[in-house]
Amino acid sequence: EAEVAQSPRYKITEKSQAVAFWCDPISGHATLYWYRQILGQGPELLVQFQDESVVDDSQLPKDRFSAERLKGVDSTLKIQPAELGDSAMYLCASTPSGGSNEQFFGPGTRLTVL
């Protein structure tokens, strides 16, 4: 069964360092989402892509976060510099074309900033 892939699964870094997360959506899924999930909370949308274009990045802290999906397939989310408050689970999800609104989630990347 096709799945959303994410790497790494776990990342520990020190504050002020740069980190990057990778997501490979299910093949053929045009829409890709990055979420941040703070411990004990529900996921919150950071950025949404339609193919290679950003559809919504209104909740992305653009002073330190960036996201790209250059070829409209896999995507990278970067944080530079990382802050203590960035410790969270970063989830990637994708939806197929054709109007389906079911989002398929990857396993996530657990980030710990020391």
The verdict on 30 binding another protein (CB under 8 A) reads no
The C-alpha atoms of residue 68 and residue 81 are separated, in whole angstroms, by 17
Residue with Cβ nearer another protein (1 or 63)? 1
Q: Among all chains, which residue has been given the structure tokens 């976060």? A: 65
Residue with Cβ nearer another protein (59 or 76)? 59
The verdict on 1 binding another protein (CB under 8 A) reads no
The C-alpha atoms of residue 18 and residue 71 are separated, in whole angstroms, by 23
The verdict on 98 binding another protein (CB under 8 A) reads no
Q: Which of 111, 49, 56 is nearest to 85 (CA)?
A: 111
The verdict on 11 binding another protein (CB under 8 A) reads no
Site string for another protein, 40-79 (x = CB under 8 A): xxxxxx--x-------x-----------------------
- Prior bond of 107 cis (ω within 30°): no
Q: Tokens standing for 71?
A: 């070829």
Q: Tokens standing for 9?
A: 């699964």
Residues near another protein, by CB under 8 A: 4, 6, 9, 31, 40-45, 48, 56, 89, 91, 93, 95, 101-108, 110
